[in-house]
Amino acid sequence: MSTVRVRFAPSPTGYVHVGSLRTALYNYLFARRNKGVFVLRIEDTDQKRYVEGAVENLVATMKWAGLDYDEGPGKGGGCGPYVQSERTDLYRRYASELVEKGFAYPCFCTSERLDVMRKAQEARKLPNIMYDRACLELSAGEAAKRIAGGEPHTVRLKVPRERSVVIDDIVRGIVTFAGETIDDQVLLKSDSFPTYHLANVVDDHLMGITHVIRGEEWLTSTPKHVLLYEFFGWEPPRFAHLPLLLNPDRSKLSKRQGDVAVEDYRVKGYEPQALVNFVALLGWNPGDEREVFTLEELAGEFSLERVGKAGAVFDVSKLNWINGMHLRRLTDEELLARLAACLAERGEEPPPSDYLRKVVGMMKERVTFVHEMRTVSSYFFEEPAEFEPEGVKKQWKGDAPALVSEFRERLQKLDDFSVEKIEAALRAMAEERGISAGKIIHPVRLVLSGKTTGPGLFELMEALGRETCVKRMEYGVAHLPAPAPAPATASSPGNPPAPAARQ
């Protein structure tokens, strides 16, 4: 069996769509699973849509995602770069060959005439809007004369309308296209640049591509490509057309309902392995209940036979869950480095590594993104700017200020400000007062962090240090509104009144 060779062939028209990332990923995984070659080719023949810097952004995005290609831009030597705009002479030569063999013909129709033709067909409500072949019957001599006279023209594929084209697709099975529904596709534009269809087929053949793995939107173009392979006398590759990506309402994934660019997810702090893992599951499944994979694990599991036909819903909540799972797979040292970099990006001087290591240890099970260690748990890095209103309502009542003040005094007398000593002091105070430890824990957490939830209170206090804890407790008691007095409790017959709380 020949070596598997696949390619990712994007157009440099702007950002990298998550659907493009999935196409690149499936090609990469298929190549790695089969010990094959993964080629990157830049299809930039549509110069009107070219965006400056798009190629560099594409290469950077693939590097970020870990999709290292074997041939293509930057690889040098005889392995690329493969940039179609630098190969136009090649495509023109092959277009001329098709015309000479009678499989293509020059077309002199102007855009204005074609527009009139389309509108007329639409008015007649024809099922397929196609070229009417007005130039097909031109003699070779007349066509040559008009070309010699400098008349602008295109080159069109001559489709055999009398027969069908059959495709054996790895994902979709046998798909049949009636010849009468296949348009005479433009292969060479009037500016002598090839269309996607001609350049794609020529390059796939010359680069020895064995499998074409691409999105479902290209399925209707495939019969034209199969005909080109036939006309050139070339062996076609195997085709695999991937299912559509859908919004939660099952409409086609679009920017109107959320982010669709890989760059957007990079900026938001998603882990590259998490986004890759999530995208891999948009159409493919391992055949069991597993959902969390590294790139290497995916490469060992992937097969096109397990790619489904149905559209795949892009569920951001699922992506967030997977991101949290991958974040927790990182070592504390890796997370520490990420957190320090996050702080630096914000223009903040990172605290000492020992302190950040404590933050990471407490928060890695509680966050979805590294940056949340700074934003969600900002109390590690600054005094709380505000206190949760619901927390104040629930926890700052009765004798809460007095309890916080008393606990603060006990903290100042500790000879060792450690988790064990802090916890022992709080529980001893609760026992002496005959109250639950939570009566002290909750208001103390509120004044220290401004929140009602978070990591273990005693670990948090040890990390913050005695001086910071005492300062924040003093501030909270002084600035939080005085709680309403606890409602009086009537004594039950035969029971003594409850003792007053010690102030």
Which residues belong to the active site?
255
User: CA separation (Å) from 379 to 214, 335, 376, 425?
Assistant: 48, 18, 8, 23
- Helix, strand, coil percentages (3-state) for the chain, rounded to 5, are 50, 10, 40
DSSP-H helix ranges across 388-456: 389-395, 400-412, 419-433, 438-449
Q: What are phi and psi of 206, to 5 degrees?
A: -65, -25
Torsion-angle region of 308 (φ positive above 0: left; ψ -120 to 50: alpha; else: beta):
beta
**Per DSSP, what are the bridge partners of residue 71?**
39
Tell me the CA end-to-end span of the chain in Å, nearest whole number.
Answer: 85
Element (H, E) at 199: helix 196-206
The amino acid sitting at 497 is P
Q: Which of 376, 246, 264 is nearest to 308 (CA)?
A: 246
Check if the beta carbon of residue 350 is closer than 8 Å to that of residue 344.
yes
User: What is the 8-class DSSP label of residue 216?
Assistant: G
Sheet-wide strand order for 173-178: 173-178, 164-169, 238-242, 211-215
